[in-house]
Structure 1
């Protein structure tokens, strides 16, 4: 009879498993190098899919299952050993595996950020470095509504570290759970029941997590992808396996089937699940999770000689070597890829560039493993104990210096920017010095004055609903409405749609103050009015948008505003703009209810090809108002695409203020001394206010209110 004892080398995303098969007369040690190979295969898939295919491979899900399996197994064995202070030894051991490589990579990202990125991006990177160091990066991304995007220059160089944060949070939760279970069972004089108690918790929480994740895919995937609880069931699948695996007995043919299915499932996941970013960690993630579980089970409690042949393939020295560098390779490859794409100004690395990115990542990962990780893992008492001690001490000192420097630089920058001299919106600007849109629309003179807002202050130049909480965010399904302008006026204009309707509010407020009308807002981020069955934003589904739009249309029918104001066009990915069919369905629905509609042409979205960029970043990087702009023919069609379809709806009035935003051949990023955009495509509040004159002249003959 064989007893399996699993000892791990607890890396962050991966672990090295040591399986000891013991007999009564003597002890034998078997090494599960196939699981090393599995994580080597997984990291290879992650890197290749990130570099060349721009989508999810399922490799991270493999890491999550392995982490749950290895770490929970370690905790259970330590708890059952009755070792004193076992929990602290696990914490110390885990930190020794997690922190050094992370410290090296984050320090390198700090240097690369300062050298390669405009200073307007430093605060974002600094915030993500701090969140990565303290293992809440997934929440940082979720709270800023950052969808998991394929690599391109607009993506964070630390986006991939969300998974590290999820695992770090799991490690803490698992440690507390096992420690509590061990303490409780000891108090009840039932220490042998610790494993069973943990198993009950694992089953209950994993079921709840799976149901929660499945619901999140349908209702709030942007948050769901990063949510630790939604991801929990993947880690708990491995944890549950750690609880029951020592007692499992499997039929030999079943092991072969499990092994083949497992390896094929891991390899093919990225090819079978094309849109993993929109479907994981929901039920679709059962493919990589079950595949990983199958591989683990297929050789449990077996000698190497009895392993199924796929497990032996996984144990190939190349796969095992990949597993040795898997953790640092995961850390290095993404920032290298993002900085490479940023320098090239492209969304694709290409064959040669991709090989270069992978090659450099492998070299740095090997160096990190050899010179950072290995010295810290060597045990005292070897043949060269003095040399090992010196190497460990040197690495510890180097890591401590890097951590201190990284924390000082990033926290210091954040404190200086946020606390010492925080950016402030400009408020009302002198129209003589800052004519803004009137420089284009009426030829107003533009004196020599510094641009306002500054590139640092631009992000604060948002419309009032964003600051007032009067725009429903990505996570809010309910209709949020507020009143602006003259709240006692008899005439009402309803401002409806996404943030691209919202950024016209400052201009409308100026007009409302002059001509006495109310502005009632019905706004939701990323959601123009639409009745499409599956609405999307930047390629990502926003399931609430259709239901929200339908309810808003019903509210408009009940509230009966004099006019509805919303966007009538949107940009096309291939350039120019369009009025999509689902907008026409909305126009028809409003017409059926006898509501009058002002359909304004959307403003240009800054992009080079398919790459979005911020005006502030371009200016901070040395560009000027014209070089950071776009050719008008690339940004917009020659004729407003809303004109023709609007002609079939007697209650729809198209408005086009392009000539107050763009010059005849160029859409610059600043006009009349005012910065037009506070990001890639939203108007600054200052420029929006300067549009009040041109907008008022367009609205006057339609509304007849002045």
Structure 2
């Protein structure tokens, strides 16, 4: 389920889509004739009720919700965001162009005041309610991050934050934010920040170019509209090119960024510009066009899924479908898609859909915890969505409509802007307050203090599964657990997914060492750096780190759910690493990989086994000794979050060893196959789990073992240096 797909679909200025604003008739002349209104262009802009657009809103928000709750085969429901972008581009551009036609200018204060009155009250209530719910029901370890999301949402930059966080490999195991659905509102607001300014600039340039003393108002308006169309086409073409070419290599930024979404808003804007011509479509053509558009939108929900490169070219399907429905609706016709989209239930859902959108995602993410449901099912989500519907109804009738219809705000833009600024300031204040909330503690008792390389960790392992309370001297503290990582990340020695460069600066250990050991693999190799570095430095060896995010050591084809495609950069990068190893001829290589990978093969398990053998044999061509460091258990739940939620019952966060070892039969087969190559096999499970008791504790002494569900903390790894030194003996270089 793509959890990053929702939108803020309602940025028009009225409770209905009432767009008629033709110039008033100035009345009869003294001679009885009538003066035509100044460049009457009402027919060129949408000026009638559009139930088809209201119905499209209902369809779009319904598709998004269906995808988020896992409603049958609706994985592609995230395309609702694209429907909303086209609608918003059409409506806002129509409003701005009508204002230009009527006044030859655009009131920026009026425009942004309407945005504030329309969007901020409901959004602010949802932000405040979500922060409160997160404080009450979510693990305290998540509150600071959610508070930052709230601040970013209030400032309309949450899409940039989500893009940056989404590309951070350390956050791969983090749960989605209950506020990440604000990303599309941020995209729209960023577009609206620039689009009125561009239209105003075009209008100002048009006057001296085409508005001479003898030029008619109609001539100026036509030239100005043509200029706007040219700018839109250029923006749309550039954005579509970026969407088509960057969505594959850079899926996170492409999904959240305005640079790959602007063409969707531009598509709606182009329809707004062409509305005057589109209204002359014959009804026999308009009706089937509207049905064709609706079919494209509905089909995209079922044809597009999580593995589709998106937005890319795939977004053409919902965007073109939405544009067709809106374009066809500019012309009067019968028996079109409005027969369905105009039904009363769809009209009402469309009317309240802004609030429905705002409320649904926090309930999806926090609702199960509120109800005490560990593993929610579809029926549970349906109950939560019923609650979201009721909240949306209340928000519409008690907040949205009363505020945006209040004359004191509508007629005085400065008051509306002041209200908007106050709401943003209040949201920021609540975010700061939430981020300062302390982590809950069970007692002031301290556990046995364990230092790096201390054998005590081994001695305390057996009794650690029975620890009841989180110790006051827990290291690292729960609030800092996710940051307890090797320095490799700050040094740029864990190569990002799309980077093919082989770093040659990642030398550690003893810089003057006479021998070289290489740490090779993905983040599950990088996590062992604190212990390997200790051993190398103590033994007088140089340590070279070659690690890449999510890049498996075994020679296999793998699908990466983060980039939604085959991870082709991994084998390319490893080829460069092998070339470097051939050059330096290391004395030893320590290789490790996360075992939970999706292998693209007819027999994935056998391909994984064979891939390990092939890679180990390739390493043996360059290195003196090869050590296969098997993977650690994956507890299946975020340990710091669990401990924060259960500070007086730490034993509830203990993992079951039998359930935590990933693919145990395949793992054993790899151990045996690699051993047959002559490489050294190291199994760290007995250092981390109580093998006899069959448990994997989250706390040993005063040390936090895991920083998420499967990565060990750097502090705990450092304490395992003695165990690792016995398994990977680096003979002191001075004795050679």
Secondary structure of the 1:627 match is: helix
CA gap 1:258/1:210 in 2 versus in 1, 3 angstroms: same
Secondary structure of the 1:450 match is: coil
Distance across 2 between alignment mates of 1:88 and 1:22 = 22
2:515 alignment counterpart = 491
Answering whether residue 551 of structure 2 is matched by residue 527 of structure 1, we say yes
1:560 alignment counterpart = 585
Which structure 2 residue ranges, 5 or more long, are not aligned?
1-8, 26-33, 37-41, 212-219, 440-448, 599-604
Distance across 1 between alignment mates of 2:417 and 2:392 = 18
- Computed over aligned residues only, the root mean square deviation of the Cα atoms, in angstroms, reads 3.7
Moved more, 342-351 or 134-143: 342-351
Distance across 2 between alignment mates of 1:456 and 1:470 = 25
Distance across 2 between alignment mates of 1:669 and 1:328 = 41
Secondary structure of the 1:225 match is: helix
Moved more, 265-274 or 123-132: 265-274
Secondary structure of the 1:30 match is: coil
2:615 alignment counterpart = 586
Secondary structure of the 1:465 match is: coil
Answering whether residue 491 of structure 2 is matched by residue 473 of structure 1, we say no
Contact persistence 2:704–2:716 (CA under 8 A): yes
| Alpha-carbon offset, residue 474 of structure 1 | 3.9
2:670 alignment counterpart = 642
Provide the TM-score with structure 1 as the length reference: 0.85
Aligned ranges 1:67-82 → 2 under 5 Å: 67-82=88-103
Aligned ranges 1:1-400 → 2 under 5 Å: 11=11, 16-20=16-20, 30-53=48-71, 55-57=75-77, 58-82=79-103, 86-145=107-166, 154-190=175-211, 191-192=220-221, 193-248=223-278, 249-275=280-306, 278-302=308-332, 306-343=333-370, 349-378=376-405, 380=407
1:107-147 deviations in Å (ceiling 9; x for gaps): 10011011101221111100100111111111111101269
Secondary structure of the 2:508 match is: strand
| Alpha-carbon offset, residue 291 of structure 1 | 0.5
Contact persistence 1:591–1:649 (CA under 8 A): no
Contact persistence 1:153–1:345 (CA under 8 A): no
2:719 alignment counterpart = 690
Contact persistence 1:15–1:66 (CA under 8 A): no
Distance across 1 between alignment mates of 2:657 and 2:421 = 52
2:525 corresponds, among 490, 501, 513, to 501
| Alpha-carbon offset, residue 588 of structure 1 | 4.5
Provide the TM-score with structure 2 as the length reference: 0.81
Contact persistence 1:531–1:550 (CA under 8 A): no
1:545 alignment counterpart = 570
| Alpha-carbon offset, residue 233 of structure 1 | 1.5
| Alpha-carbon offset, residue 435 of structure 1 | 3.2
Secondary structure of the 2:681 match is: strand
Moved more, 685-694 or 492-501: 492-501
Distance across 2 between alignment mates of 1:288 and 1:141 = 24
CA gap 1:197/1:60 in 2 versus in 1, 3 angstroms: same
| Alpha-carbon offset, residue 81 of structure 1 | 2.3
Contact persistence 2:682–2:727 (CA under 8 A): yes
Aligned ranges 1:434-473 → 2 under 5 Å: 435-437=456-458, 439-440=460-461, 450-473=473-496
Distance across 1 between alignment mates of 2:561 and 2:400 = 42
Aligned ranges 1:631-670 → 2 under 5 Å: 631-636=656-661, 637=664, 640-650=668-678, 652-664=679-691, 665-670=694-699
| Alpha-carbon offset, residue 682 of structure 1 | 1.6
Moved more, 559-568 or 280-289: 559-568
| Alpha-carbon offset, residue 346 of structure 1 | 6.5
| Alpha-carbon offset, residue 74 of structure 1 | 1.6
Moved more, 16-25 or 500-509: 16-25
1:677-700 deviations in Å (ceiling 9; x for gaps): 122222211111111100010112
Distance across 1 between alignment mates of 2:697 and 2:551 = 26
CA gap 1:672/1:329 in 2 versus in 1, 3 angstroms: same
1:413-442 deviations in Å (ceiling 9; x for gaps): 447899xxxxxxxxx964698933564499
Distance across 1 between alignment mates of 2:627 and 2:136 = 47
1:51-102 deviations in Å (ceiling 9; x for gaps): 1247331111100111111112222222232266622211111121111110
1:316-363 deviations in Å (ceiling 9; x for gaps): 111111111111111100110111234567686434312211110110
Distance across 1 between alignment mates of 2:454 and 2:722 = 16
| Alpha-carbon offset, residue 370 of structure 1 | 0.5
Distance across 1 between alignment mates of 2:476 and 2:62 = 46
| Alpha-carbon offset, residue 294 of structure 1 | 0.9
1:406 alignment counterpart = 427
1:422 alignment counterpart = none
CA gap 1:187/1:429 in 2 versus in 1, 3 angstroms: farther
Which structure 1 residue ranges, 5 or more long, are not aligned?
1-8, 419-427, 608-612
Q: How many residues align?
A: 662
